[in-house]
Amino acid sequence: MLIKAPSDIRPSEITPESVYRQRRQLIKAMVGGGLLMAAGPALALERYELAEGQRRYPGPDWLQQKLRAARAGEPLEGEPLAPYRLITGHNNFYEFGLDKQDPKARAQGFVTDPWRVEIGGEVANAGSYHLEDLLKPHALEERIYRLRCVEGWSMVIPWIGFPLADLIKRVEPTGNARFVEFTTLHDPEQMPGQRGFFSTLQWPYVEGLRMDEAMHPLTLLAVGVYGDALPPQNGAPLRLVVPWKYGFKSIKSIVSIRFTEQMPKATWNQTAPHEYGFYANVNPAVDHPRWSQATERRLPSSLFSPNIIDTLPFNGYAEQVAHLYSGMDLRKWY
Ligand SMILES: Nc1nc2c(c(=O)[nH]1)N[C@H]1C(S)=C(S)[C@@H](COP(=O)(O)O)O[C@H]1N2
Ligand SMILES: [Mo]
C-alpha cells in the first residue's frame, strides 16, 4: 500500500469458471423451486468442490465440527465468487512479506492451534481465552461479502464466522468502552516480515472500530472461508471482516481484543495519516492522495479483461451502514 503500487495479477492466475459457479446456479434453481426449503437450511460446506490439486485447510477437529454445521450464506446477485486459489493466493499480510504471493508461500508453517485470545480493557469478563472456548457458544454462518482493498482491487469472498456483536455482548464491556482495539500476533520467529531489515511497519499490526461499528450485524469474526478453515495466509485462526471498509481494517490472526475509551492507534492510520484514515469507509468520492478510488479491479481480472467496475459508497453496504455516520463529514473522517 504505502510501499508498492498495486501489483497486477499474472495471466496464469486467471482460473476458468469454477465448479462452484455451476453449483451455485444449481442451488439457485433449487431455491427457486422450493427444493431447499424442504431439505432445511443448506450447509456452507456442501456448496464447494475445489478444482483438482487444490488443497483444503481443514483446521483442528473442534473447528471442523463447527464449520460443518455452518449455514450457507446468501450469494451476491450477479457477483460471482473469486476462485479459491485467488482468495488464498493473492493476499495482503505484511507479516509474511510485501508481495501478494508471499503470504501463501511463507505462512504454511504458521502455528494457529492452540491459540489464545486476550480480552481486556473496559470489560467485565477480561481474561486469556483458548480460541476453542471463546468460540464454543457461537454457531457459525457463511457470509458472502465484497472485500475492497484500498489499493483498488476487490473480490467476492465466502467467509465463515459469527457476528463480533455476539462476542461483545458475552464479554460485557463497561460503560466506558467507546472503541474496540484488535492486535495481530507479534512473533518475528514465525513472521519474516516482522524481522529486522525487512521490517516495514510498526509491529504488531493494530486496528480498531468504534463500538457501534463493532456491534453492527455485518461485522464478522471469521474462522473459515470457502467452506473450510481459514488458511494461514488469510489470517488464521481468527480475523476480522468489516465489509464496508477498506480491507486493511480487516485485521488478521488476532491475539487481543481490548475495549478502550480512546480511539485505538491503528497501524496504517499511524503510519500515513494523510493517506489512511481511522474510519477507512469505502468511498468513491474521496481519492487516495496517490490514486483514484472511483473504480476498482474486480478479481479475477486480466490485461484483456480488466473487469473495472465502479466503486460503491460503503462498498455497496450503504443501506445498512450509512446511518452510523450521519452528520459526519466523510471527507474529513476518511
Ligand atoms: N495483520 C494484518 N492484517 C491484515 C493485513 C496485514 O498486512 N496484516 N493486510 C490487510 C489488507 S491491506 C487487506 S486488503 C486484507 C486482505 O485479506 P485477504 O488476504 O484475506 O484477502 O487483510 C488486511 N489485514
Ligand atoms: Mo488492502
Indicate the residue type of 261: E
pTM: 0.89
Question: What atom in ligand 1 is closest to the CA of residue 103?
Answer: 19
Confidence at residue 11, expressed as pLDDT on a 0 to 100 scale: 37
Q: Residue 261 has what DSSP assignment?
A: S
Question: What atom in ligand 1 is closest to the CA of residue 204?
Answer: 1
- Closest-approaching ligand to the CA atom of 249: 1
For ligand 2, an ion, list residues with CB under 5 A: 92, 149, 247-248
Q: List CB contacts of 162: < 8 A, sequence separation 6 or more.
A: 135, 138, 139, 140, 141, 220, 221
d(CA 85, CA 108): 15
Could you give the percent of the chain with pLDDT greater than 70? 86
The runs of H, that is alpha helices, within 33-177 are 35-39, 61-68, 84-87, 102-106, 131-135, 164-171
- Residues 10-20 pLDDT 10s: 433 434 434 44
Ligand 1 centre distance from Cα of residue 250 (Å): 6
pLDDT of residue 9 exceeding 60, the answer is no
pLDDT of residue 153 exceeding 80, the answer is yes
Ligand 1 centre distance from Cα of residue 309 (Å): 22
* Candidate of 87, 96, 148, 252 to mutate for ligand 1, largest count of ligand atoms within 8 Å of Cβ: 252
The b/e string for 147-169 (b: 16+ C-beta within 10 A; e otherwise) is: bbbbbbbbbbbbbbbbbbbebbe
Q: What is the rounded average pLDDT of the residues 238-260? A: 99
Indicate the residue type of 324: L
What nine digits make up the cell of 87? 482468495
- Residues 262-300 pLDDT 10s: 999 999 999 999 999 999 999 999 999 999 999 999 999
Confidence at residue 303, expressed as pLDDT on a 0 to 100 scale: 93
pLDDT of residue 250 exceeding 80, the answer is yes
pLDDT of residue 67 exceeding 80, the answer is yes
Ligand 2 centre distance from Cα of residue 6 (Å): 10
Ligand 2 centre distance from Cα of residue 309 (Å): 17
Ligand 2 centre distance from Cα of residue 295 (Å): 15
- HEC per residue, 156-190: EEEEEEEEHHHHHHHHCECCCCCEEEEEECCCCCC
Domains of the chain: 80-325 (3.90.420.10)
Instruction: List all residues whose CB is within 6 A of at least one atom of ligand 1.
Output: 1, 91-95, 147, 149, 184, 205, 234-235, 247-248, 250-253
pLDDT of residue 8 exceeding 80, the answer is no
Q: Residue 286 has what DSSP assignment?
A: S
Work out the pLDDT band at 55, boundaries 50, 70, 90: confident
